[in-house]
Structure 1
């Protein structure tokens, strides 16, 4: 296939730059999409007891649907990035939102476990995965020449913001009106979000007669690509996997998923409860981690625009590992200042790794960075799934989570070594993944 490269409009044909660059409209729209996506995906955890009571389904069975969701969330991302290049961000995003709407809405009719797995596992997993990290990477890469790190940080923080916004509302609905009311709200919200995307989303700055934000006339612009999405995604993986940079990034990001979503996100509440802390208190602390996650990720995006991303990752993983090693000594039946300090410190570091990881994908893999980051994100989810199960096995075998926390600290040390092994630049142009053919 022939590579299609977008030719910028002549300068005399470009409109005068508006006071508010349209890139910020696209960023706000993307933030809305990602906030909603995070909230929709997290809803099943609130309904586990309700489904258990009504249908008699075990927590393990319901957890299987959530596992399918997480797996597809990770594996869909690289293909979604290629589909966005092939068919457009607007079409893919609208289809993803409507898929979530259908998957959520159909659960009001379910009577068998396979229907739960199909609706929440497959449909919602595919829909939310299509709006994962590759979506933010695609948008920032096309619309921003400057402030890429900051905007990536803001969009990454949308995941925590979505949980903070949706979980209290959906939790109240489940308690007051039942789980069916909650899933109907999720379905309607997903449909509602698709409307502004359909009306306002544009593919590239050239569509509105602009250069990317911060770009000057004559700057190299991200190329438009065309080709078969699936074959391109697999080709990018094949070519990227020949480079050491890909494996170093994938390995460190798998450890990121293992030490956040897989361990703390899944086992923090039961671990605190093992030490006598009420589950409601532990859940509130986990929500507080989400609050500081927003602050930390936005700040990380700001630092990414100014500091070498490799150094940032080394610092982030080192601090995370140290905090996890201290955690077993901090658990108690009540919240004490040292434990509160951990919540704040760890929250600031939760997904601060995302902006510098995205920046390194751009540095090493150029135009194919969204797809490469999609594969790196898939490794993040795989790492999360492995440690989520492993930590539970350790708890069953030893009666506490101490070994899991210390093991996570050791993994963070390994991530530090992986990041130190990254070179500041690709060793040769051949190592950069080529643009789509």
Structure 2
């Protein structure tokens, strides 16, 4: 019995699934670093080229839309060509887009290079990528692993943001972009060596499975499959409810915070480097909150978790205009901790619901739900800049997004649980008839 227990212990912690998850986490961390740049570039680009905040926000919006729209197609491409190939190509596309951004001279080039190329590359390593890895390699600990991988993007922001902010201040914005280009290029060969597409490739069962799982045949017509999954899912109420709530999620997180928090704090006299450090601190608690959310998702009703997360986020966003000042006050640190814990905590419950309702297509469905997230983020990125230009303040933006989060909490509660029969068949149980 001791020998068996020892073997079980070694198998648990030496399983190849954990190494694949670690490799996926590294790729997500590097890709996540690129999302920190728009907030840091707004001031320098405005001063150097004279571009309005709205035009700069347009490039960030294009980036976010493509980030979201790419995810479901990338998940389908992973079914067709494998995880490893898609991730390596995505890293090279990101490096190309960021490198070309350093030689741009017009706003439309910023939209093309940063908005389109970087958006396509980072979208291929969005949370749908993490959902694909988790679904293939794990049977047990799915919620926990999902939380860890989902936190990787913000962890990348946390790791790179202070250094990038310092680099922008002391060596210019182009140097900060070159730093990220080198990071992406260095990560690509590591992904080719470390990632594997399926447990069957190394003769192992998924973590927590009792037997080997055959590797499915490559899925032909990845684009057609992604569109077909959207068509089928869009006719169901849970998808529409989750997409609506997740659009608000995107608007109230990376859409506004990672693009406009630093300029908003600077409006109140706070140095950009200090505001960037606050965003990095949010990233620290983001990791904690997302992992804790994954742990809770393994044990609690995902719908109720979502409702609580949205309600609390809305409340603290409405309070944010009262907390802004030239210096970091204790009340701002309370905001940083609370918002950080809630920021990406919505990801594990939504992935769990997509898997519950849509079975093997859950990763692709989540990619489409994530697309709604990024559409909401893009609207906030552009609308936040436009509102600042029009009203001279970000206050109306914070209050509006706080109110929308209350609506997202209600949408989350409208999603009903799938029955055991529907769950085993991977079919969707409509939540609200003829919604």
TM-score, normalised to structure 2, is 0.88
Structure 1 match to 2:158? 164
Q: Find the aligned partners of 2:376 and 2:341 in 1 and give their Cα distance.
A: 21
Kindly indicate whether the alpha-carbon contact (under 8 Å) linking 1:317 and 1:416 is maintained by their aligned counterparts in 2: yes
Q: Which residue of 1 aligns with 2:56?
A: 62
Aligned match of 2:370 in 356, 372, 377? Answer: 377
Q: Which SS does the other structure have where 1:43 is aligned? A: helix
Q: CA deviation at 1:182?
A: 3.0
Taking structure 1 as reference, are residues 241 and 329 closer, same or farther at Cα in structure 2, changes over 3 Å only? Answer: same
Q: Distance in 1 between matches of 2:152 and 2:143?
A: 14
Tell me if structure 2 keeps the 8 A contact 1:41–1:124.
Answer: no
For each residue in 1:214-258, what CA deviation from the matched residue of structure 2 results, as whole angstroms up to 9, or x when unmatched? 11238x778555120111010000000111010111111111111
Within the candidate set 298, 305, 308, 2:298 is matched to 305
Higher mean Cα deviation, 396-405 or 67-76? 396-405
| Residue 65 of structure 1: how far off its partner (Å) | 2.5
CA contact (8 A) 2:159 2:280 kept: no
Asked whether the equivalents of residues 39 and 261 of structure 2 are also in contact (C-alpha less than 8 Å), the reply is no
2:287 corresponds in structure 1 to: 294
Q: How many residues align?
A: 417
1:176 Cα deviation from its structure 2 partner = 4.1
Say which of 260, 265, 272 aligns to 1:267. 260
Q: C-alpha offsets along residues 279-334 of structure 1, whole Å, 9 cap, x if unaligned?
A: 44333322221221111111111111111211211111121122223333333443
Distance, in Å, in 2 between the alignment partners of 1:293 and 1:81 is 25
Residue 250 (1) aligns with residue 243 (2) = yes
Which stretch shifts more, 328-337 or 365-374?
328-337
**Structure 2 vs 1, CA of residues 270 and 249 (structure 1 numbering), >3 Å: closer, same or farther?**
same
Q: Is the 8 A contact 1:142 1:222 kept in 2?
A: no
**Per-residue deviation, 1:186:** 2.0
Aligned to 2:431: none
Deviations 1:106-135 (A, max 9, x none): 334444444333322221111111111110
2:195 matches 1:208: no
Say whether residues 1:29 and 2:23 are aligned partners.
yes
Q: For residues 21-420 of structure 1, what are the structure 2 equivalents within 5 Å? A: 21-52=15-46, 54-217=48-211, 223-224=216-217, 226-395=219-388, 400-420=393-413
CA distance in 1, matches of 2:50, 2:399: 36
Change (3 A) 1:334 1:388: same
Contact 1:289-1:344 at 8 Å conserved across structures: yes
RMSD (CA atoms): 2.6
In 2, Cα distance between the equivalents of 1:73 and 1:222? Answer: 28
Does structure 1 conserve the Cα–Cα contact (< 8 Å) formed by 2:23 and 2:195? yes
Q: Secondary structure at the match of 2:235?
A: coil
Unaligned ranges ≥5, structure 1: 1-15
Output one character per residue of 1:125-150: Cα deviation in whole Å (capped at 9) or x when no partner: 11111111110010000001011111
CA distance in 2, matches of 1:248, 1:150: 24
Change (3 A) 1:387 1:428: farther
Matches of 1:312 and 1:243, distance apart in 2: 21
CA distance in 2, matches of 1:112, 1:402: 30
Larger mean CA deviation between 175-184 and 365-374 belongs to 175-184
Name the SS of the counterpart of 2:207 in structure 1.
Answer: coil
Q: Which consecutive unaligned segments of at least 5 residues does structure 2 have?
A: 1-9, 429-435
Change (3 A) 1:17 1:232: same
Q: Distance in 2 between matches of 1:100 and 1:256?
A: 25
In 2: Cα distance, 1:210 partner to 1:289 partner: 38
Find the residue that maps to 1:261 and give its secondary structure: coil
Pairing 1:8-19 to 2, within 5 Å after superposition:
17=11
CA distance in 1, matches of 2:282, 2:301: 26
Q: Note the C-alpha offset of 1:80.
A: 0.5
> Do the aligned residues in 1 keep the contact of 2:39 with 2:258 (CA within 8 Å)?
no
Q: Secondary structure at the match of 1:213?
A: coil
Are the aligned partners of 1:222 and 1:367 in contact in 2 as well (CA < 8 Å)? no
CA pair 224-362 structure 1, distance change in 2 beyond 3 A: farther
Partner of 2:427: 432
SS of 2:324 mapped into structure 1: coil
SS at match of 1:127: helix
The question of whether the paired residues in 2 share the 8 Å contact of 1:103 and 1:119 is answered with yes
